Amino acid sequence: MRRDAAEIAAVVALVRGAFAGYVGRLDPPPSAVGETPESIAELLGREHGLVAEAGDGIAVGCLFLQRRERGDVYVGRVAVAAGHRRSGVGRALMAAAEDEARRLGGVRLTLGVRLALDGNRRFFASLGFTEGALHAHPGYDRPTWIEMAKPLG
């Protein structure tokens, strides 16, 4: 992913827009709606970003990959613009994430999904991810998200 100001601004808008529909539906609220050009630039300083563009060069999807211990590669901030959902953008991004994770020497993709987002859980399960440990956001005494993983064969 290029790191020029225009692309960073486009990714900020994409991420904030993609997660905006979850405000009021998720507890705690999604932190992604607070992304800024500075936070995305910082994220790119430590992670790999992938962007899907429409034919007109407009960013319609993105995600970030972070190499973790034991060969895990964490997928975060998976975002697809509302008008491009259910069009294959998410599947294409996740396929590219698998390729990039292998290139990084990863043996397993991991990600976190809010328990309340059944559709997202089903989407990742359809890609071969299995559900694992339940986790709670800081300050919560109940599980709020689940870890999902997929081995990279």
Give 54-89 pLDDT, tens digit per residue: 888 889 999 999 999 889 999 999 999 999 999 999
Angle in degrees, CA 141, 23, 64, rounded to 5:
85
Specify the CATH architecture of the domain 5-151: 3-Layer(aba) Sandwich (3.40)
Q: 86: which DSSP letter? A: T
Cα gap 133→121, rounded to integer Å: 13
Residue 2, pLDDT score: 52
Give the C-alpha separation, 114 to 95, whole Å: 21
Percent residues over pLDDT 70 in the chain: 98
Distances (CA, A) of 69 to 50, 113, 152: 21, 20, 15
CA torsion angle 7 3 1 78 (round to 10): -60
Computed over every residue of the chain, the mean pLDDT equals 94
Global pTM exceeds 0.75: yes
Domain ranges of the chain: 5-151
Q: Are 149 and 129 in contact (CB under 8 A)?
A: yes
Determine the pLDDT at residue 139. Answer: 96
pLDDT higher than 90, residue 45: no
